[in-house]
A and B are shown apart, each in its own frame.
Chain A
Amino acid sequence: MLSKIIINGLVSGGIYAVLAVGFSLIFGVGKIMNMAHTAFYMVAAYMIFYATSMLGLPLPVSLVAAIILTTVLGILCFILFFNRIKHHDTAVMIISVALAIIFQELLFIFFGGHYRGVPPFARGFLEILGLRVSYQHLIAICTSGCILVALWVLFKKTSLGTAIRAVAEDREIANLMGMNVDRILLIVMAISVGLAGLAGGVIAPIYMLSPLMWQQPLAIVLAAVVLGGLGSIGGSVLGAFILGFIETVVIFLVPGGAFLQGAVSMGVMVLVLLLRPEGLFGVVFEEERL
Chain B
Amino acid sequence: MNYLYMFYNWVRQAIFAIPGRVIALIFFIVLFCAPFITDDEYFLGIIVLSTIFALFAISWDLLSGFTGQLNLGHALFFGVSAYSAGLLNVHLHYSPWITIPFGAIVAVLVGLVVGIPALRLRGFYLGLVTLTFPLILLGIFFAFPNFTGGELGISGIDRLASSRIAEYYIVAVIFTVSSLLIWKLMDTKNKVIRLGILLHAIREDEITARASGINTTLQKFIAFALSAFFAGIAGGLYAHYMRIAAPSTLELFFSFQAILWTIFGGITTIYGPVVGVFILYPLLELMSAVPWGEQLRYIVFGVVLIATLMIMPEGISVWILDKLEIECPRCKLINAFTRKKCRACRAPLRLKQKTNV
Residues of A within 8 A of B (CB): 33, 81, 84-85, 88, 90-91, 94-95, 97-99, 101-102, 104-106, 108-109, 215, 218-219, 222-223, 225-226, 230, 256, 259-264, 266-267, 269-270, 273-274, 277-279, 287-288, 290
Contacts and interface: CB of A to CB of B under 8 A. Distances in A.
Interface string B336-348: 0000000000000
Contact of B117 (A218, A223, A270): A270
B310 A84 contact: yes
A114 B263 CA distance: 33
A266 B313 contact: no
Interface in B234-275: 252-253, 256, 259-260, 263-264, 267
Contacts of A279: 125
Contact of B303 (A102, A260, A261): A102
Contacts of B305: 94-95, 98
Given A94-B259, A219-B131, A274-B116, 9 more contacts: A88-B313, A98-B260, A102-B298, A109-B295, A226-B124, A260-B143, A262-B135, A269-B132, A277-B121
B129 interface: yes
B120 interface: yes
Interface of B: 116-117, 119-122, 124-125, 128-129, 131-133, 135-140, 142-143, 206-207, 252-253, 256, 259-260, 263-264, 267, 295-296, 298-299, 301-303, 305-306, 309-310, 313
Contacts, number: 123
Contacts of A263: 135-140, 143
Contact of B306 (A98, A223, A259, A287): A98
Interface centre among B117, B119, B135, B138 (most CB of A within 10 A): B135
B306 A219 contact: no
A81 B117 contact: no
A102 B310 CA distance: 16
Contact of A94 (B122, B260, B298): B260
Given A85-B313, A101-B301, A101-B302, A108 B295 contact: yes
Nearest to A230: B124
Contacts of B253: 101, 215
B143 to A, nearest CB: 4
Contacts of B313: 85, 88, 91
A105 B298 contact: yes
Contact of A270 (B129, B259, B264): B129
Q: Is the interface of B mostly helix, strand, loop or mixed?
A: helix
A111 to B, nearest CB: 12
A222 B126 CA distance: 12
A111 B36 CA distance: 45
A101 B120 CA distance: 32
Nearest to A264: B139
Contacts of B138: 263
Contacts of A269: 129, 132
B135 A219 contact: yes
Contact of A260 (B128, B140, B259): B140
Q: Is the interface of A mostly helix, strand, loop or mixed?
A: helix
A219 B310 contact: no
Contacts of B267: 90
A97 B305 CA distance: 10
Contacts of A98: 260, 301-303, 305-306
Contacts of B117: 270, 273-274
A270 B295 contact: no
A243 B299 CA distance: 33
Contacts of B309: 85, 88, 91, 94-95
A91 B319 CA distance: 15
Contacts of A288: 122
Contacts of A84: 310
A277 B129 CA distance: 10
A273 B207 contact: no
A33 B143 CA distance: 31
A277 B301 contact: no
A97 B256 contact: yes
Contacts of A106: 299
Given A90-B267, A95-B306, A262 B136 contact: yes
7 contacts: A95-B310, A99-B306, A105-B298, A109-B295, A225-B128, A266-B132, A269-B129
